[in-house]
């Protein structure tokens, strides 16, 4: 039986202090933590996966990218399905799907099964991720919603901090397969809580139709667009990952990717209910922010993928030590990102989005000192501090600027597009970087070979961030008129922009002296 969370006037009434509010918050945190662990825990396990399967570098790339591919390609569709068929229903389906796929990953007898199971994990993540924040927005009273989102984000930051520790401990202990099986108890806790305590909700268009309203009914999801978008990413990823082989299949998939991309644009232009309405890009500010996002998350995605390997293969760290070594980035984001969004609100977006990528790029150049004789305190820690400081300066302001560039009614769509763009750019970076720096299929088996490739990759990652900085300086408008728009004051997730805005409520302003 569904539990209603709305009053007679249709407003959600769940409060954080109530038992129901706590159960709803716990459900969203548990579900989102599964997706977060799917991203952060796997990187530290990659060398051990490659060793156990005697696999080449392409397998390690696909272990990361198969997950990111389906997650990035289908995340907008997942949100639309929740609006149409019920957010709790799709959220629970995503949790079940993710858990089953995690079991398949943990039991995978070969690399093909592992990669396919990772792709299935991404599908589950695309179903449950949009629902986590949508359930908060639909269930909590407007007065409690900002605090609920802040708590969700804060717990996400704690999960981001603990993920590499936990992953490293599992890899060094019972083995890498447990980094996937870890999701199962989270799902077993999440599903019954969601079914018992979380109210069902649907999108406004569905509610209007059900009530006999005269508003135009939207189908709510764009399957052709989602398929073509995912196909474009999949074919491009394959072509980049396998390009070193120079086979005919690489050429065919590259051409196929471009063809699918053109078809995607045409479909989105012609459909009455597109997954990604092209009209939203009429905002120059919105377009600029997304181009900057592509550069920022491509550079960061390539950095985190290669650094987790460098610390283990070249420096000689265990999986646990490698995960712990990356902690400064997460801690800085967790502590300071809740305040850094005010930079864009008070100073305008150009300064933080110009300086932040440059700072992180400088930190990546400092990583050139990391080799087999590296001291953590002298060489690694300072570089990570600079990279983390740059992320603090740019990540939250990037989101604030994005959401202030569109009307409030399009904020959810805008943040969903931006989230998909960030994931897709990281996906392409992981596929393309080894090719661009001449990393051979067995490079990760040789410390010297991998170190040489890493030394070529860091300047490239820094250059990509530098392009983002130039774009910010030359294309962004200097404006601070965003107080009436949705904004985020909390950002606890290391490598993911948020999927929904946090709104200011006018009656709160009257309390300010």
Tell me the per-residue pLDDT of 280-305, one tens digit each, with 9 for 90 and over: 898 899 999 999 999 999 999 999 99
Q: How far apart are CA 177 and CA 184, in angstroms?
A: 12
Helix (H, G, I), strand (E, B) or coil at 225: helix
pLDDT of residue 414: 81
The answer to whether position 100 is within a domain reads yes
Answer yes or no: is pLDDT of 178 > 80: yes
User: Using one digit for the tens of pLDDT, what is the confidence trace for 223-232?
Assistant: 888 889 889 9
Sign of CA dihedral 442, 443, 447, 448: positive
How many residues in the chain?
513
Q: How many structural domains is the chain composed of?
A: 3
pLDDT of residue 415: 75
Do 401 and 445 fall within a single domain? Answer: yes
Do 233 and 345 fall within a single domain? Answer: no
Whole-number percent of the chain with pLDDT over 70: 84
**What phi, psi does 307 have (nearest 5°)?**
-70, -40
Please check whether residue 410 is in contact with residue 280, taking contact to mean a CB–CB distance below 8 angstroms.
Answer: yes
Do 350 and 466 fall within a single domain? Answer: yes
HEC readout, 35-56? HHHHHHHHHHHHHHHHHHHCCC
Closest CA to 301 of 177, 411, 429: 429
The answer to whether position 2 is within a domain reads no
Domain residues for 255? 222-274
Instruction: Work out the pLDDT band at 344, boundaries 50, 70, 90.
Output: low
Instruction: Work out the pLDDT band at 341, boundaries 50, 70, 90.
Output: low
Domain stops at, among 210, 241, 274: 274
Do 374 and 451 fall within a single domain? Answer: yes
Instruction: Work out the pLDDT band at 203, boundaries 50, 70, 90.
Output: low
pLDDT of residue 382: 96
State how far the alpha carbon of 296 is from the alpha carbons of 168, 301, 359, in Å.
26, 8, 12
The answer to whether position 508 is within a domain reads no
Instruction: Work out the pLDDT band at 188, boundaries 50, 70, 90.
Output: very high
Do 185 and 333 fall within a single domain? Answer: no
Answer yes or no: is pLDDT of 493 > 60: no
Please check whether residue 139 is in contact with residue 13, taking contact to mean a CB–CB distance below 8 angstroms.
Answer: no
Do 286 and 266 fall within a single domain? Answer: no
Instruction: Work out the pLDDT band at 332, boundaries 50, 70, 90.
Output: confident
Do 366 and 488 fall within a single domain? Answer: yes
Do 354 and 237 fall within a single domain? Answer: no
Domain stops at, among 167, 201, 235: 201
Do 447 and 481 fall within a single domain? Answer: yes
**What phi, psi does 12 have (nearest 5°)?**
-65, 145
The answer to whether position 5 is within a domain reads no
The answer to whether position 50 is within a domain reads yes
The answer to whether position 24 is within a domain reads yes
CATH number reported for the structural domain that contains residue 26 in this entry: 1.20.1250.20
Do 448 and 474 fall within a single domain? Answer: yes
Please check whether residue 225 is in contact with residue 271, taking contact to mean a CB–CB distance below 8 angstroms.
Answer: yes
Sign of CA dihedral 155, 158, 162, 163: positive
Instruction: Give the CA count within 13 Å in the CB-facing half-sphere of 28.
Output: 29
Do 296 and 268 fall within a single domain? Answer: no
Answer yes or no: is pLDDT of 146 > 90: no
Domain stops at, among 212, 246, 274: 274
Q: What number is the average pLDDT over the span 151-155?
A: 74
Instruction: Work out the pLDDT band at 115, boundaries 50, 70, 90.
Output: very high
The answer to whether position 316 is within a domain reads yes
Do 377 and 390 fall within a single domain? Answer: yes
DSSP letter, residue 216: P
Q: What number is the average pLDDT over the span 35-60?
A: 89
Answer yes or no: is pLDDT of 496 > 70: no
The answer to whether position 357 is within a domain reads yes
Closest CA to 124 of 172, 160, 156, 92: 92
Answer yes or no: is pLDDT of 213 > 50: no
Instruction: Work out the pLDDT band at 110, boundaries 50, 70, 90.
Output: very high
pLDDT of residue 497: 59
pLDDT of residue 486: 43
């Amino acid at each position: 039986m569904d539990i209603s969370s709305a009053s007679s006037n249709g407003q959600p009434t769940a409060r954080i202090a109530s038992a129901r509010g706590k159960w709803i918050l716990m459900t969203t945190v548990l579900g989102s933590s599964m997706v977060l662990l799917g991203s952060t825990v796997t990187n530290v396990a990659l060398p051990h996966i490659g060793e156990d399967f005697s696999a080449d570098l392409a397998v390690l790339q696909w272990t990361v990218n198969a997950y990111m591919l389906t997650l990035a390609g289908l995340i907008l569709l997942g949100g639309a399905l929740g609006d149409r068929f019920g957010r709790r229903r799709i959220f629970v389906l995503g949790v079940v799907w993710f858990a089953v796929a995690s079991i398949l990953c943990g039991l995978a007898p070969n690399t093909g099964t592992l990669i396919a199971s990772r792709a299935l994990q991404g599908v589950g993540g695309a179903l449950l991720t949009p629902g986590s924040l949508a359930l908060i927005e639909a269930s909590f009273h407007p007065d409690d919603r900002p605090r609920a989102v802040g708590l969700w984000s804060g717990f996400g930051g704690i999960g981001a901090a603990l993920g590499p520790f936990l992953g490293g401990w599992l890899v060094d202990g019972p083995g890498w397969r447990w980094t996937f099986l870890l999701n199962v108890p989270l799902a077993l806790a999440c599903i019954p809580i969601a079914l018992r305590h979380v109210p069902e909700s649907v999108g406004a268009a569905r509610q209007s139709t059900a009530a006999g309203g005269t508003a135009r009914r939207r189908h709510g999801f764009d399957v052709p667009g989602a398929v073509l978008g995912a196909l474009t990413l999949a074919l491009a990823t394959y072509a980049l990952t396998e390009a070193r082989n120079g086979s005919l299949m690489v050429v065919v998939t590259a051409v196929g990717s471009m063809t699918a991309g053109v078809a995607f644009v045409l479909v989105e232009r012609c459909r009455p209910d597109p997954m990604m309405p092209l009209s939203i890009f009429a905002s120059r500010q919105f377009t600029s922010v997304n181009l900057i996002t592509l550069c920022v998350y491509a550079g960061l995605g390539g950095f985190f993928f290669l650094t987790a390997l460098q610390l283990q293969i070249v420096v000689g760290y265990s999986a646990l030590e490698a995960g712990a070594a990356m902690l400064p980035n997460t801690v800085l984001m967790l502590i300071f990102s809740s305040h850094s969004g005010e930079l864009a609100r008070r100073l305008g977006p150009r300064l933080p989005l110009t300086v932040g990528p440059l700072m992180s790029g400088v930190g990546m150049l400092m990583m050139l000192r990391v080799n087999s004789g590296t001291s953590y305190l002298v060489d690694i820690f300072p570089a990570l501090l600079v990279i983390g400081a740059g992320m603090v300066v740019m990540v939250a302001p990037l989101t604030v600027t994005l959401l202030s560039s569109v009307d409030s009614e399009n904020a959810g769509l805008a943040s969903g597009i931006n989230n998909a763009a960030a994931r897709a750019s990281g996906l392409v970076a992981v596929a393309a970087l080894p090719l661009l720096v001449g990393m051979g299929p067995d490079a990760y088996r040789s410390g010297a070979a991998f170190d040489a490739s890493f030394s070529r990759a860091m300047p490239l990652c820094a250059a990509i961030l530098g392009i983002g900085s130039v774009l910010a300086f030359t294309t962004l408008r200097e404006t601070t008129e965003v107080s009436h728009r949705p904004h985020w004051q909390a950002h606890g997730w290391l490598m993911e922009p948020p999927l929904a805005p946090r709104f200011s409520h006018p009656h709160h302003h009257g309390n300010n002296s």
